[in-house]
Amino acid sequence: MGNYKMSYSERCINAEDGQVIFEKFHNMTSLDRANYHIFEENIANAFDNKAFMDNIYSNSSFSKSSIGITLNNEIKEDTDTFYTALLNRRSCREFTCGTISFKDFSNVLFYGYGPSICGVYTVPSAGGTYPISLIIVVNDVESLEKGIYEYLPMNNTLIPILLSDYLDPGLITLNEHFFNSCAFSIHFIGNPSLICYKYQDRGYRFMNLEAGHIAQNLTLVAIRNSINSVCSGGFLDGEFVHFLNDISNSHFAHFVSLYEIFFGL
């Protein structure tokens, strides 16, 4: 076979400065400790804007209307755990101190992003590229040491990256309250190399969509196992990946941060 070069930068749209467009967008919208206060201020300003809040609550997705075709709901939710999990899904922003069992923890990862019966993962991925890796920070899980792990879904195993009784939240997330009170957190990082080589700039969109697929699975399986969760878009970008590279001999050199979820009781 030929030795083919795979560089998505040559197949993607480049800005005038030579930077790939999606990389430039990602960098310009990244959060760090220097600019996070601006992000928080803008969120607070939106809540203080009456017109914005009125539009939120008048949105058709929150409104009941007598117009339209009423659909059947023949499944009794109390007899089907899948439907019950869907109906019970919510964001929990306050966790109580408590240890999550190793069995429940394992269920979240295995059914959320593990191997399926069909031989792939339990979520779809554009072109089967599966660009996302899950970094698990364990705080209070039965039989597991505190620390940072990588989940390998096809083998359904955890690989320790750094085991420590103390982890500086400032190197991992901007959500220190959730980080300190949760039993474990899952941080999504993605490698655009394959997906953006195949799909060019649109691969970046697909990678973010895939993060949503995985997150939905994880949170629903968590609810099924009586574990609460909250998803966060206020994650730490480059600094977290830099920290991972420092403790893993640059194993995650081509990755970017995408999402994070905190889990607890």
Choose which CATH entry (1.20.120.350, 3.30.420.10, 3.40.109.10, 3.20.20.70) describes domain 8-264: 3.40.109.10
DSSP for 118-187, written as a single string:
TSSBSS--GGG---EEEEEEESSBTT--SEEEEEETTTTEEEEEEE-S---GGGT-S-HHHHHH-SEEEE
- Apex 99 CA angle, 96 and 102, nearest 5: 140
Could you list the pLDDT tens digit for every one of the 265 residues in the chain?
Answer: 345 567 899 999 998 899 999 999 999 999 999 999 999 999 999 999 999 998 888 876 666 666 778 888 776 656 778 888 998 999 999 999 899 999 999 999 999 999 999 878 999 999 999 999 999 999 999 999 999 999 999 999 999 999 999 999 999 999 999 999 999 999 999 999 999 999 999 999 999 999 999 999 999 999 999 999 999 999 999 999 999 999 999 999 999 999 999 999 9
* Tokens coding 198: 């195949």
Q: How far is CA 262 from CA 80, 162, 183, in A?
A: 26, 19, 8
Q: How far is CA 168 from CA 48, 147, 173, 240, 246, in A?
A: 33, 11, 9, 11, 14
Helix (H) or strand (E) holding 228: strand 228-232
Start-to-end CA distance of the chain, whole Å, equals 53
What pLDDT is attached to residue 83?
87
Residue ranges of the domains in the chain?
8-264
DSSP helix/strand/coil, 60: helix
